[in-house]
Amino acid sequence: MSKCFVIEYDTIDYLSALNIQNRIRNIKEEDREYDNFLLLLQHEPPVFTLGKQGKRSEILVSDEVLEKEGIEVLEIRRGGKVTYHGPGQLVAYFLLDLIQLKITIPDFVHKMEEVVIQTIMEYNIEGFRREEYPGVWIKHNGQISKIAAVGARASKHITSHGLALNINTNMSHFQMIIPCGITDFKPISLKEVLNRSVDMREVYEKFKNNFTKVFNIEIKDLSPRDLLTKIEKKEKEREKQKNNKEK
C-alpha cells in the first residue's frame, strides 16, 4: 500500500500554502520516489483565485469593496475559473505522484470527489456528481447546490491544488463572484444544510479517513513545522548534489 503524509493547518495564507506546494512539486519532479502529501487547511485572509480560464470580469465587485472585505485576488496555475477560499472552508491540496499510485488523471478527479461524497454522507447528506460540472453537488430544499469545488493541476503526473469543501464558510463572499463560471446554481455550506456550525477538526478527521479508503493509501500525520524541516533537508541535499556535479 502506498503512503502519504497528512499535514493539518488551522489557517494559512494562500501564497504561503502555494509556496509549500511548489517546493514539494519541484522535489517530486526530480525524485519520483519522494513522499506524497495531503495538506488540509483553511485560508486566511480570504481570497478569490483565478484559474487558467478565469476572468477578472467574473469578480462582480470593485477593488474598493474587496479591500474593505479584506479579500485578496490572485491568478493561479490550476484548472477552472474563479473561486473563493476563506475561513470555515476545508481546503485539501493533493501532492501525489499518480504514476506511483497507478491512478489516471480522470480517476484522480473522481477519487477527490468521492472523498467529499463519503465525508458529507457521514452527516446524512447525499452528494453527487454532475457530468458537465466538476465538483460535488447536493439537493437541499428542492434546489441543486454545489458544496465542493474541484480545481486541481497535474503536470508530469504529479498533482497539486485540489478541492474546497464549504463547512462554516462565509457564503456572502460567493455573491461577489461567478463561482467556477456557473450562474444557474448557487454554492452551499454544510452549516446551511445542518443549520448549525460544524467542528472543523471533526471534518478534518472524517476527510482523512475517507481519503485513506478511497485512495487505498496509508497516511501518517506530520506537523507543519516538521514538513518544512523535511522540505528544507531535501532541498539542501539537492543543492549539494548539484554543486558536486558542477565541480
For 146-162, give one letter per residue: b (16+ CB within 10 A) or e.
Answer: bbbbbbbbbeebbbbbb
State the catalytic residue, choosing from 125, 180, 193, 217. 180
Q: Which residue is listed with cell 511548489?
A: 22
Rounded Cα distance between 79 and 161, Å, is 9
CA distances from 54 to 9, 47, 179, 184 (A): 27, 14, 10, 17
Give me the sign of the Cα torsion angle 81, 20, 97, 244.
positive
Give ∠ CA 30-31-36 in degrees, rounded to 5. 120
Rounded Cα distance between 114 and 78, Å, is 20
Whether residue 72 contacts residue 96, with contact meaning beta carbons closer than 8 Å, is answered with no
C-alpha cell at 157: 503526473
Listed in sequence order, the residues at least 6 apart from 27 whose beta carbon sits closer than 8 Å to its beta carbon are 34, 231, 234, 235, 238
Rounded Cα distance between 207 and 13, Å, is 21
The yes-or-no answer on residue 180 being catalytic is yes
* Rounded CA Rg of the chain: 18
Annotated catalytic sites, by residue?
180
